[in-house]
A and B are shown apart, each in its own frame.
Chain A
Amino acid sequence: MFRIPPHQNKHSQVGVSAVEVLIGVAIASLVLIFAANAIILFINSGRTVSEKTKGLYLAEEGLELVRFIRDQAWTNVSGLSTNSTHYLRVTGTTVTTSGTSEVIDGFQRSFRVQNVYRNSTTDDIVASTTGGSVADTNSKYVFMTVVGGNPTTTVTLTSVLSDLTP
């Protein structure tokens, strides 16, 4: 729209029109902004890693705490209802399971317990739907889940706990 007709000003042909400049600047800006956002996203992953690390330690600790609870009495774990959510309660002197939500430093930690099924002949762990599988009363799956942080991260760790009572 600002281009001066060639027959009127030949000098303008060697330069660029306003529209061309605008398009050029717009494309350059878009590339710059997208590149910067990509870099910021990449760097922000450092924060995600930090939150994930924290969540991972809480989940690992959770499994260790359930292991300790198991050591007090196998029924502490075997008596927990399967497929419902349980929580830990850690005070300065005791570690117990609880029905009340446990929030540590912005992270919620919970766990579920499931039956372990074994092949009746080989004792190998198998799916509950497998033929010949029998529920093992001396073993339980524990699924420890930690959710929280900013950005929100979820960590789930699984372990099989067994009755170690001689």
Chain B
Amino acid sequence: MKNFFSKRRVSASGFSLVEVLVYVAVLVLVTMAGVLTYLSLSTTLVRYETERAVSHAAQVTLERIVRDIKGATTITAAESSFGTSSPPSLTLVAGTTTTKFSLSGGNVLLTQNGIEIGPLTSEDVTVEQLYFLRYTGVSTELVRVVLTLSASNKAASTTRTFFGSGVLRGSYE
């Protein structure tokens, strides 16, 4: 036994089997940790992109619609449709300005005084659902907006529903 070790040490210029095994094991562990970390990072990043797109589109769209509802005096009922049964549209009158929100090609479209201003939502987001609800009170009116947005890319998909309501300040008598 003693002879075996002393003989091996003298002749050893490379690695022993145990050393190689330990190196390989460590290498495999580090590679696995690296690959898992990369996969986790890329998945999180991809999901973050869709989250950010939906969140940003919701802020821009709801902010605009609710602000216009609050600033409006009346609703043009003939050019508005409420509930989920028909394509959504909301036409608000504030002074001499008529603002219409409708759904067109998966985007929320803004029209002012008959002129198409453009879509409120960006191309990377799809409007899954948009509808308006109208509540008529004793002296005021309230409009509720329900907006479902989705964004997806190769690896992730995000869908969220946002709610917003506004009392028509101009409806106070």
Contact = CB atoms under 8 A, between A and B. Distances in A.
B41 A9 contact: no
A50 to B, nearest CB: 4
Given A50-B54, A71-B138, A92-B133, A22 B26 contact: yes
Contact of A40 (B19, B34, B40, B161): B40
Count class of interface residues, chain B: 35 or more
If over half of A's interface residues share one DSSP class (helix, strand or loop), that class is named, otherwise mixed; here it is helix
Contact of B19 (A18, A36, A94): A18
Contacts, number: 109
B135 A95 contact: yes
Contacts of B12: 4, 9
B120 to A, nearest CB: 15
Q: How large is the interface on A (under 10, 10 to 19, 20 to 34, 35 or more residues)?
A: 35 or more
Interface string B78-96: 0000010000000000000
Given A11-B13, A18-B23, A21-B23, A71 B137 contact: yes
A57 B41 contact: no
B163 A57 contact: yes
Interface in B45-61: 45, 47-48, 51-52, 54-55, 58-59
Interface string B14-30: 00101100110010011
Interface string A30-42: 0011001001100
Contacts of A11: 13
A32 B10 contact: no
A8 B10 contact: yes
Interface of A: 2, 4, 8-9, 11, 18, 21-22, 25, 28-29, 32-33, 36, 39-40, 43-44, 46-47, 49-50, 53-54, 57-58, 60-61, 64-65, 67-68, 71-73, 90, 92-95, 104-105, 164
Interface of B: 9-10, 12-13, 16, 18-19, 22-23, 26, 29-30, 33-34, 37, 40-41, 44-45, 47-48, 51-52, 54-55, 58-59, 62, 66, 83, 133, 135, 137-140, 142, 144, 158, 160-167, 172
6 contacts: A21-B23, A25-B30, A43-B44, A50-B160, A71-B172, A93-B135
